[in-house]
Amino acid sequence: ESGKKNISLIVVGHVDAGKSTLMGRLLYDIGELTEKEKTANERGSKKIGKGSFAFAWGLDALGDERDRGVTIDIATTHFTTPHRNYTLLDAPGHRDFIPAMISGAAQADVALMVVDGSPGEFEAGFERGGQTREHAWLVRSLGVKEIIVGINKMDLVSWSEDRYEEIVEALKPFLVSAGFSAAKTTFMPLAAMEGINIIENDSEELKEWYKGPTLFNALDKVEVPTRPYDSPLRIPVSNVFKGQTAIASGVAVSGRLCSGIVQVGDRVRAVPGDEVATVRTIEVDEDSSSYAVSGQNVTLYLSGIDSIHLSIGTILCPTSLPVPLITKFKTQILIFDLQGSPIITGTPVELFHHSINLPATITKLINVIDKGKVIKENPRVLQKGLTATVELTLRSPNSNNQNNAQIPKIPLETSQENKEMGRILIRRNGETIAAGIVTELLG
């Protein structure tokens, strides 16, 4: 149905919380997986030592991408609820899950956070070093405003209402402190393995005290975020491949429209670079379309360009309004729960922006901000939990000698100019240390 709203979903949560099992179960119960696929998945799951549905999700999505001969970045699966068309953004089986998640979360409208409700397990995931906190921060700082929290494995605590409430009481204030509004957080008890409260609440024990939505109901009610149609076109490319489908051939790219509109026949510029291509065909969620708007996931078939000029991280723009390429900028950052040393001038970091990451250095600590006001200029160090303005400068990945090496540039805009293009994440030694918005471009 064309009247349905399109939503992109990312699933996050501590390892073993039951994400794969839950999504496999959901797809199966909705009817997106056949009985045969389910059996194959069960066999595959046993082989890798996972529970029954665990294999379904990842395998399905990867198979799809493999057939097209793609560089795998973010695989997607589709499913529908009565009022919504869902794109499930998926980063299965990645060892270093976070970078893949970052590019997924940058494309997502809503997050489903899965937590393990069984004794001690929720606590382990929620502690420092557990992934529950980091994932919540990440998705919020990447622009996701709505979060659904599934408290899973409730069968292991005999559907205890007290246990459920205890977890909600711990998570809700935390999610609010991470920037979600209380009205945009929905909680529900689940048992992914047995399939309880996913489509229906058919457990007598649960019915006694739980009257809230099932996962399916909650997904069907997710609000479609307002999207910036007026800003110039920006499509961060997340995949490049040689397209060969029934409707088109040539170079194809996929990604999500951050802003603007694209139509068949439009000329687009691939930044970085001066190459211009013509959009021949547009697919929105695998259906052919004459145009696409901000918020949609698209595959574009392009002519007039060689694939060597396109890569993951390329931004497609209107020819007249390309995104600027930047080496140095000011950013207002929120510093996370630092595990390592505080941030000082000269701290080397990795800069994440959409699908790319580049080495950078924090070259200046400019100020510390509290409740919108500058409370300190030129701080010497920055501790966890602070909001601060810093200057970031890209550095060459493979040379210590800055003079001889070519300094890379990144397509970037201020957050005021374009919200999605002006959002970054900063990592150090594999830990996400801050999220930021770009406030000024310095060159």
Q: Which residues bind ligand GDP (CB under 6 A)?
A: 13, 15-21, 50-51, 54, 152-153, 155-156, 191-193
Report in angstroms how near the CB of residue 332 gets to ligand GDP at its nearest.
Answer: 33
The 10 Å CB-count burial string (b at 16+, else e) for 159-184 is: bbeebbebbbeebeeebeebebeeeb
CB 360, CB 392: distance < 8 Å: yes
Q: With CA atoms as reference, report the closest residue to 79 among 53, 66, 52, 60.
A: 60
- d(CA 373, CA 296) in angstroms, rounded, equals 36
Report, in Å, the least distance between residue 8 CB and ligand GDP.
19
- Identity (one letter) of the amino acid at 182? A
Beta carbon of residue 217, minimum distance to ligand GDP (angstroms, whole number): 18
Minimum CB distance to ligand GDP smaller for 81 or for 197: 197
| Helix (H), strand (E) counts: the chain | 9, 24
Tokens 């997340």 locate to 238
Cβ-closest position to ligand GDP: 51
Distance in Å, CB of 45 to ligand GDP, minimum: 8
Closest CB to ligand GDP among 54 and 167?
54
The strand pairing partners of 252, in sequence order, are 241, 301
Beta carbon of residue 115, minimum distance to ligand GDP (angstroms, whole number)? 10
- Give the nearer residue to ligand GDP in terms of CB position, either 76 or 131: 131
Q: HSE (CB half, 13 Å, CA atoms) of 259?
A: 20
Please, what's the b/e burial string for 101-124 (b: 16 or more CB within 10 A of its CB; e: otherwise)?
Answer: bbbbbbbbbbbbbbbbbbeebbee
CA–CA distance from 374 to each of 332, 345, 366 (Å)?
11, 19, 10
Q: How far is the CB of 366 from ligand GDP (least distance, A)?
A: 40
Cβ at position 19, least distance to ligand GDP in Å: 3
Closer residue to ligand GDP, CB minimum distance, 192 or 305: 192
Pick 19 or 328: Cβ nearer ligand GDP:
19
The candidate with the shortest Cα–Cα distance to 14, out of 146, 168, 111, 133, is 133
Whose Cβ is closer to ligand GDP: residue 210's or residue 329's?
210
- Would you state the structure tokens that stand for residue 187, as one six-digit string? 């909680």
Q: Which is nearer to ligand GDP, 46 or 267 (CB)?
A: 46
